[in-house]
């Protein structure tokens, strides 16, 4: 089961995300603070991270994004927030968040679509899958 981490201080939104994602067969770990997430040790890297911008914390989601990318450079981070400021969105993209999603009535649909895209990318291209199969056959 793929693990998704949520970093959001809004309890109600966090619970909605948890319910939505667990109903799609994801394992979900939730954190109300970015520091809690960064202090957590993971036996294996999460499949994806959902990060809010406004946190009741000493840093914003944008500031935590840089720390998260240092700790887990290959894990997709989905920046999900009510903020629609174009400068913030530009900064998010520059720090390599996988995607920005505005919190609105359609955000769960966009989130599901994005997670499906991440899943497909993680499988690799058809050519890389063929080479993986060929290398396996050579080992047998």
Please state, rounded to an integer, the average pLDDT across all residues of the chain. Answer: 83
Q: Mapped to the 3 state alphabet, what secondary structure does 39-54 carry?
A: HCCCCCCCCEEEECCC
- CATH 3.30.70.860 holds for 3-139: no
Which tens digits make up the pLDDT trace of 92-137? 777 766 687 888 777 888 888 888 888 887 776 555 555 554 444 4
Strands in 48-51's sheet, in edge-to-edge order, are: 27-31, 3-7, 48-51, 77-81, 99-102
**What b/e readout covers 25-48, taking b as 16+ CB neighbours within 10 angstroms?**
ebebebbbbbbebbeeeeeeebbb
Judged against a pLDDT cut of 50, whether residue 25 lies above it is answered with yes
Taking residues 57-82, report their average pLDDT.
88
Q: Which pTM was predicted?
A: 0.78
State residue 139's pLDDT score: 44
The CA distance from 136 to 10, in Å, is 46
Q: Are 78 and 114 in contact (CB under 8 A)?
A: yes
Q: Are 35 and 11 in contact (CB under 8 A)?
A: no
State residue 26's pLDDT score: 95
Question: How buried is residue 18: exposed, middle or buried, by Cβ count under 10 Å (0-12/13-18/19+)?
Answer: middle
Domain ranges across the chain: 3-139
State residue 129's pLDDT score: 52
Which tens digits make up the pLDDT trace of 30-49? 999 999 999 999 989 999 99
């Amino acid at each position: 089961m793929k693990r998704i981490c949520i970093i959001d201080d809004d309890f109600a939104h966090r619970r909605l995300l948890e319910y939505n994602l667990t109903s799609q067969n994801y394992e979900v770990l939730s954190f109300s603070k970015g520091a809690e997430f960064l202090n957590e040790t993971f036996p294996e890297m999460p499949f994806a991270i959902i990060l809010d911008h406004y946190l009741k914390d000493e840093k914003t989601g944008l500031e935590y994004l840089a720390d998260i990318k240092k700790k887990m450079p290959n894990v997709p981070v989905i920046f999900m927030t009510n903020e629609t400021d174009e400068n913030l969105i530009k900064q998010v993209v520059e720090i390599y968040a996988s995607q920005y999603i505005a919190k609105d009535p359609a955000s769960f649909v966009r989130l599901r679509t994005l997670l499906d895209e991440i899943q497909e990318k993680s499988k690799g291209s058809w050519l890389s899958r063929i080479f993986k199969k060929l290398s396996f056959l050579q080992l047998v």
